[in-house]
Amino acid sequence: MAALDVLKAEILTFTHTVNQSYDDKKAQKILDLVEAIPEDGSQSSSPTPPPLGLLVYAVKSILYPTVIYEQISDLVRLFTMIDFWRQRSMGEVKTAVIWDDYFASSGDKGQMPYTQLTDDVRGILLGHQEDALGWRRIFMRIVCKCFTTHLQRLWLNQRGASFRKQWEVYFSIATKHFVPYDSDNQQPDGQKPSQAVDLTHAFQYQLSVEDLDMLVESMQECREFMVESFDNAKAWATPE
């Protein structure tokens, strides 16, 4: 059974041990998210991904015990939704540090409706903030490797229509006028990241300049692979 089908089956068999009481409407909402979020990368507000545990389960279903290469595109969608969770957690960390700074600088500490963070906890949160860019780079490396692997396999298997479709999905954003995401919300002419072009995949949500550069590198890698494979085929077919 396909990994996402397994995921859906797992959702539909939720028991009270997970959610206290079974709620078929909540389960259906999750199913709708699994279907809708990957196709709706153009939304300007932060997407709401399905539960993290279910996403991880589906990822493992694709990767183990043997990689299901036919579902690489699904794998990218799942990784993207996991990264949405990372982005959300980074937002919560930023908010916690801002409020902690605010109350630390307030005059009357006896009136604080808030317990200040301990030095250890604050250090952990600040460390997570510092690591945010590194984790984003890891995510982009993973999805770019998925792109090149998927496209190279389609190319070698002579699946022209599928190859062209996936090339457009993965790389079209790198060849269009796109307003990259600025973490400080400073966008040219007040534009939001999704306003410049229609996004073709959820992973394109809040792409930065560095993210786009990595996409261009992956696109160039695929082009070089295509040329090399074509040259090799010509050499093999040419009699000595």
Per residue in 189-226, pLDDT tens?
A: 444 444 445 677 788 877 888 898 999 999 999 999 99
**203, 72 contact by CB (below 8 A):** no
The domains of the chain are located at: 3-237
pLDDT tens across 22-48, in order?
Answer: 444 544 455 555 555 444 444 444 556
Coil vs helix vs strand at 116: coil
| Tens-place pLDDT, residues 59-108 | 888 888 888 888 888 889 889 989 988 988 888 888 888 888 887 777 55
Q: Which ranges in the chain belong to alpha helices (H)?
A: 3-12, 16-19, 24-36, 52-63, 72-105, 119-156, 160-171, 209-237
Query: What pTM does this model have?
Result: 0.69
- If you ran DSSP here, which 8-state letter would residue 117 be given? P
Q: What is the CA radius of gyration of the chain?
A: 22
Q: Map tokens 């959300």 to a residue.
A: 88
